[in-house]
Structure formats: structure tokens, C-alpha cells
Amino acid sequence: MILTPDELDSFLQAKNGAPHDLLGMHPATKGRAGGLVARAFIRDAATCAVVELDSGKVHPMDRLAAEGFFELFLPRRKNLFPYQLRVTRHSGELRQFYDPYGFLPTLGEQDLYLFNEGNEHRSYDKLGSHPRVIGGVAGVSFAVWAPGAARVSVVGNFNDWDGRYHPMRTLGASGVWELFIPGLGEGELYKFELFDQGCRIRLKTDPYGTYFEAPPGNAAIVCNPRHHQWQDEAWLARRREGAGRPDQPISVYEVHLASWKRQHHDGNRPYTYRELAPMLADYVADMGFTHVELMPVAEHPFDGSWGYQVTGFFAPTHRFGTPEDFCFFVDHLHQRGLGVILDWVPAHFPRDSFALAEFDGTHLYEHADPRQGAHQDWGTLIFNFGRNEVRGFLVANALAWLDRYHLDGLRVDAVASMLYLDYSRKEGEWIPNRHGGRENLEAMAFLRETNRLVHDYYPGVLMIAEESTAFPGLTQPVAEGGIGFDLKWNMGWMHDTLKYFQKEPVHRRWHHNDLTFGALYQFTEKFITVFSHDEVVHGKASMLYKMGAWHIPEKAANLRALYAHMWAWPGKKLLFMGCEFGQSHEWAYAGQLDWHLCQYLDHEGIRLLVRDLNRLYVAEPVLSRHDLDSRGFRWINCHDAERSVVSYLRLDENERVIFAIVGNHTPVIRHAHRIGVPRQGYWREAINTNSQYYGGSGLGNDGGKTTEEVAADGFSQSLSLTLPPLSTTILKWTAEG
């Protein structure tokens, strides 16, 4: 025996961090004789032999331990040769296979250098598990970053989840552990077993895993996510051609896939990606939305987190199918002319013991100091954005979703919690930055890098920030000192506008400023105007039931007036599912939307209005061309608090197409209400939210009005309008008449 008893004991106790130094074939000496030594550790092996592939010669190995450790010494042999191991199991089964310890590393020095530097943008193609063919041999390569571990093994059904049988090698000082296991393929379940410096065993899922089994197992599944044959070339070409153009209409339908619709005939289960694709595409296209935004679909163990507590950052959740099924979903929507935006969660991660938390026995992905590494509100952990490998992990994660799944945008969750070190913290509970300030400089650098790289690699893809503060320059380009997002959720407008509409109409005169104040900051950032899932949960009431009225018809009238105001107001649009037909109940993640309500006109009328608003918004460039700058907006009258009437214009730069929007937010009919307008002629009524078609009384302006030579609101001509109660009226003038 060449192996020392101490080396053998260390290996059998699974404490050896350099298995390739012992296993496989190596030059060696025994006594004075030089030669080759081969060793193998095979589960449930009664005998083991080395088979020379060139000659077919068989060399029986000596059994050094009952657990299945074998050794062979070949004196006077100098050159390594290709071989396989021939094993007889205790059951009598005979197998012959390639030795996992006979292969060179699958990662090179340049890969590791870039990874440690945080600049390996495709680390998702290097780390994790990947089916590969090496030297003509098919198998799976595994790689994981765990610099604090003393030993790391791949475990799965193929070795009875025993960490002694497939220990990995560490690649220098990189902290990366690697192993190629020949003979494995797609569908294998696996985890990483880590022996940390505190002599504790940790069983962890793969941070770069592309597919996972359901809880409570949570094992990663070997999967190649690139099998799908994409058919969306035309869509991607149009996306590239529109890159960087803020003048395009963007109207987003936010969806939680598990609760949009459910299969009642099959145990009330959620529909799969493949089942949802045509159903959702049909509905969203008919409704006139341009994009779908998916609440997080990255793998997560708890349905009640809505997907925001991610444990598999690179994996579409198993709940609706495989990664290839998700590709089909996105591809189908693209072929129907619909973009797909993903809700992305890089701000934090849960404490589940099987995932990222204390991954290798150290605070690897999170800060060690809870004043930096623990999120007070959600009980989660905060990424250490200042660590190269962690920053690289998240940057690569963003790029992987765009690369593998052709997504058209990322809505970045909880950006405010990333930007501020004192976010939701009291005095003494946070650590200032190196300048003594409250800004998280590392998180800012990470966001800038992510936005820059996304735009470099994937022109036309949207980066959208969910950010609730007045942090400056969020949508300013990185080259100009900004953070580099394309759009930011307009949380201020949303809160103020809802505050206004929640008031009973008799009180609105005292809160007129809530409806108009948003214009003061509307063009300080590039805004998307939103009513998201956050507004219809946790006792906040549904959009319909927020409305300040007692009866459903009046609530519906208020909501119709609000939606028409939203679509006419500058900014891109986003609406959460169910809000488009005025769902009565708050959103519930475990059920489906109350689609039966659409049989009632109070609800169906809201849906029909949203459809018409989308169609108007998409068809009329004047409503989107200057969504993000002040050239397309002008007040008519923002001071009529006494009557709770607000009026403004949307217009193109040449003023050849002009829209006048007038909102009457009391239940009083305003006869002969005069508004000034900049052009003489006929103003056609494009939208009247009081139309009988939408569930209103039908009172309006008989299709349109012609100006009169009566000065009003600073204009030399005006319109005398009938303003229905609780309504928004949109009128259109064109130079052609």
C-alpha cells in the first residue's frame, strides 16, 4: 500500500479536501520502484480493476478498506494511459465506466481569474452543473464556489447521497471546487455536501442550478436549458431596432402565474407554462397590453412569498414545468407580439438552511455584520455587494435570464432597500459608508454595472426600478453619472392619486393637490405609472373597493375615471391582473381571479374601458411619444379644486394632434363647463368613461364639440362641455379636422 494510514483515514472520514491528489492515476514510487498508482473509491464494490482501453488489459486492484477503497501500483510504467474502472458489486452486478478522477479541470485559469474579479459575465455557463462531452466521454461537470469549506462533494441518487464518494477538487486559491462525473446526464438530482471549517456538514443546493425539484427535497436537477428551438427572431429584431427609444407605447399587464387562472377540473392546480402561453397571449393581446410582467418565477420554496424569497436564482420554478417549458412560454408570447418582463430580486435572499445562507460555513453571500447583512422588514439576508464573486453572481444572474430565456426586461425589486444603508433601520442599527453617508456605494456600483452590461449585451431590453424614494438620477444614463435604469415606478403619483380617489367626493375639494402635485416631479425621472399587486393585498382593499363611494356602480364609475386619467397621464403604464375588471376581493395567491364578475356590467365595463384605453394609447403616438419628457404635457386648469375638476393636454411637438383630458370627480353633472383649448375646430370625444358601453349613464358630449370664440384658461377659444358625474372625458383634435 502506497497510501499512508493517515491519508486513508482522512479520506474515509470525508475530511480530505484534495481528492484528486489521491484518487485517479498518478506517477508514484513504491520503495525504490517508480511507476503509476491508481486509486478508486467505489460505493458497494466487491472488486475493482483498471482496464487499459488501448490494449484491453485488466489490472485487479487491492482493496484497502471495506468501504470500497482500492489501489493499484504498476511498476516501471511511466506514461499515463486512458482507462476505465471495472467494478463488481456485492450484488454480483458488473459495471465498467470512466473514472471521475481521470479528467482535467473543466475551468481554466482565465475563467477563475475573471470569476474572482467579478467580471465573468457568463459564470452561469461555468459554475453549476452542465452536461458536457470531454475527450469523447459524456458526463456532467459540477463547480461551486465555497472558499470557506474544508471539503465539498457532489451527492445524489447516483451515490446514495453519500459525500464520501464524489469529493471535488479545489482549484487553487479561487475558492471554486470542481468535478466531472462521466456517465451522468440530464435529470439527475444533486446537492453539494460541504464540510466546513467548524467540522459541520452542510447540505446545500446549487446556487447556479437551472432546475429544482419541489420542496421539501429542494434538490437541483441536471438540466440543459438551451434545448428549445426559438422562433422569435422577428420579435428580437424589432426589439433591437427600438433600442433606447423612449417614445414607444409600453402598457404592462402584471401577472402572478399561479393565480391568474387555475385548472378546476384537475384538483385546482395551476396551469403549466405551456398551457398558460396561448391563454394568456390571447387575453393580453385582446386587451391591448404590449407587455406581460411576471411576478418572480425564480425558484422559491414557499408559495406565500409570491416568489420574492428566492432559493434558485437561475431556475424557473418547477411549479409550472421545466426550463424548456418556460422557453416555450416566452417564445409564444413573442410570436404574438408581446414582450415579457421578469420581476427580479437581487436585493435579498431567505435564510433557508439548504440555500445561500452561510453557504460554506461563513457569511459568503451575505454580510457578516447584521447591521449590513440582515433585512429588518422581511427577515431575510442582504447580499454583500462589495464582494467581487457575489456581485458577479448577481450580474451573471441578470444576464442569464436574458440570454437563456430571451426576456425583454427586468423589473428590479426593492431598489430603495439596496440604495440606503439605513433603510428601515433606527439610529445605531446601520453602518455609514466610507464618506460617512447613508448611500450604499457598493449596491450603487452593482446596479450601474448591471444596467450598463444589460444594455451592452442586449440592446432594447428594459431595466425597471421599483424604487419608492426621491433618490436622484435613477434613470439617468450611467455615462452621465446616473444609475442607468430605463424606467422607474412612479410610487409618489400612485400614492397621491389613490389617496385622492379614496376620499368621498364631498371631501375631494380639500385634497385637490393630491391629484395635481405629481406634475411637479413628473419629468425628473423616466416614470412608469403603476397600480401593482402591492396595492391590492394586506388589507389595502382591491382597486374597486378603494374608491370613495358606497355603492358598486359609483365605485366602478370612480375606477373608470381613474384609469382613463392614468392612461392619459404622461408615463408608461402597468396594471396588476384583476384590476382591469375591478375585482372585488383583494388578490389571493392561492386561488384564481374572480373571473365570474365579468358577467356584470359594473365589472365588464371596466375591462372594456381598459381595453379601449390600451388601444387608444398604442394607436395614438401623441400619447406615448413624450411620455418621458415635458414637451407632450400642458395644464389647461389644475386649480379648480372647488368643483374637483382637472383638465390638461397631451400633444405632439408640432401640435398637429392634441388630446384634451377633463376629469370631473364629484357625482355632480357639470353642464356648460368651459375649458380653454389651443386650437379652433371640432374636438371629437375619443373616450367618455360614462358611456353606457362601460356601464355609465351615457351622458356626454354627443360624440364631440366645436370650439367657441370665448376666451378661457389663457386660450382665445374654448369648449363648452357636459361633464358627466365621476368621469374622465378624452377629446381629440387634429389639424386635418
Tell whether the model's pLDDT for residue 32 goes beyond 80: no
Q: Which residue has the cell 452543473?
A: 129
User: 331 with 379: CB under 8 angstroms?
Assistant: no
Say if residue 243's pLDDT is above 80: no
Domain boundaries, the chain: 5-102, 109-221, 622-734
- Helices 601-619, 273-287: axis angle to 10 degrees equals 80
pLDDT tops 90 at residue 268: no
Kindly indicate the confidence band of residue 4, based on its pLDDT and cuts at 50, 70 and 90: confident
Kindly tell me if the per-residue pLDDT of 47 is higher than 80.
Answer: yes
Task: Name, in order, each residue with C-beta under 8 angstroms of 578's C-beta and a sequence gap of 6 or more.
Answer: 536, 542, 587, 593, 594
Q: Which residues pair with 193 in a beta bridge?
A: 153, 203
Q: What is the tens place of the pLDDT at every residue in 388-403?
A: 999 999 999 999 999 9
The answer on pLDDT for 252 being more than 90 is: yes
C-alpha cell at 521: 416631479
Tens digit of each residue's pLDDT (9 = 90 or more) over 464-511: 999 999 999 999 999 999 999 999 999 999 999 999 999 999 999 999
Q: Which CATH class is domain 622-734?
A: mainly beta
Return the residue matching grid coordinates 447591521.
371
Judging by DSSP bridges, how do beta strands 251-255 and 291-294 pair with one another? parallel
Rounded Cα–Cα distance for residues 160 and 45 (Å) = 14
Fold of 5-102: Immunoglobulin-like (2.60.40)
The backbone torsions φ and ψ at residue 391, rounded to the nearest 5 degrees and listed phi first, read -60, -45
Q: Compute φ and ψ for 186, nearest 5 degrees.
A: -65, 145
Residue 441 neighbours by CB under 8 Å, 6+ apart:
433, 434, 435
The pLDDT of residue 474 is: 96
CB 675 within 8 A of CB 722: no
pLDDT beyond 70 at 580? yes
**What pLDDT, on the 0 to 100 scale, is given for residue 246?**
80
What pLDDT shows up at residue 394?
A: 98
**In angstroms, rounded to a whole number, what is the distance separating the alpha carbons of residues 155 and 300?**
21
For β-strands 69-75 and 62-65, DSSP reports them as antiparallel
Active site residues: 413, 466
Count Cβ atoms below 10 Å from residue 631 Cβ, excluding itself: 13
CA gap 685, 116 in Å, rounded: 62
| Rounded average pLDDT over 175-193 | 97
List of long-range contacts for 80-84, beta carbons under 8 Å, 24+ apart: 80/25, 80/27, 80/36, 81/25, 81/52, 81/53, 81/54, 82/52, 82/53, 82/54, 83/25, 83/38, 83/50, 83/51, 83/52, 83/53, 84/50, 84/51, 84/53
**Helix, strand or coil for residue 335?**
helix
Cα-based distances in Å from 483 to 152, 343, 382, 443: 38, 18, 20, 10
DSSP state of 706: E
DSSP letter assigned to residue 652: -
**What's the mean pLDDT in 89-108?**
94
d(CA 30, CA 40): 18
Q: What is the pLDDT of residues 285-296, one digit of tens each?
A: 999 999 999 999
Average pLDDT (444-452) is 98
409: β partners:
341, 462
Percent of the chain residues past pLDDT 70, beyond the cut:
100
Q: What is the pLDDT of residues 521-567, one digit of tens each?
A: 999 999 999 999 999 999 999 999 999 988 999 999 999 999 999 99
User: What was the pLDDT predicted at 736?
Assistant: 86
Question: Coil, strand, or helix at residue 268?
Answer: coil
**Residue 375: which pLDDT band, with cuts at 50, 70 and 90?**
confident
Distance CA 264, CA 325 (A): 21
Output the CA angle 53-97-171, nearest 5 degrees: 95
pLDDT of residue 242: 84
Q: What is the mean pLDDT of the chain?
A: 95
Q: Once rounded to an integer, what is the mean pLDDT over residues 12-25?
A: 89
pTM above threshold 0.75:
yes
Instruction: Enter the CATH code of domain 109-221.
Output: 2.60.40.10
Fold match between domain 5-102 and domain 109-221: yes
Asked whether the predicted pLDDT for residue 244 surpasses 80, the reply is no
The predicted pLDDT at position 550 comes to: 87
pLDDT of residue 101: 95
Residues in the chain: 737
pLDDT at 376 over 70: yes
Where b means 16+ CB within 10 Å and e means fewer, 271-307 reads bbbbbbbeebbebbeebbbbbbbbbbbbbbbeeebbb
- Of 308, 383, 313, 301, residue with least CA distance to 124: 313
**Which pLDDT tens digit goes with each residue over 323-372?**
999 999 999 999 999 999 999 999 999 999 999 999 999 999 999 988 88
Convert the pLDDT of each residue in 610-655 to its tens digit: 999 999 999 999 999 999 999 999 999 999 999 999 999 999 988 9
User: What DSSP designation does 106 have?
Assistant: S
pLDDT at 43: 85
Query: How far, in Å, CA of 97 to CA of 182, rounded?
Result: 8
Q: Quick one: pLDDT at residue 677?
A: 97
The pLDDT assigned to 191 comes to 98
Packed helices 552-568 and 491-502: angle between N→C axes, nearest 10 degrees: 150
Identify the burial level of 200 via C-beta atoms within 10 angstroms of its C-beta, where 0-12 means exposed, 13-18 middle and 19 or more buried. Answer: exposed
Q: What is the mean pLDDT of residues 414-441?
A: 92
Alpha helices in 2-48 (DSSP H): 5-12
510 exposure class (CB count in 10 Å sphere: 0-12, 13-18, 19+): exposed
Tell me phi and psi for residue 106, to 5 degrees. -90, -5
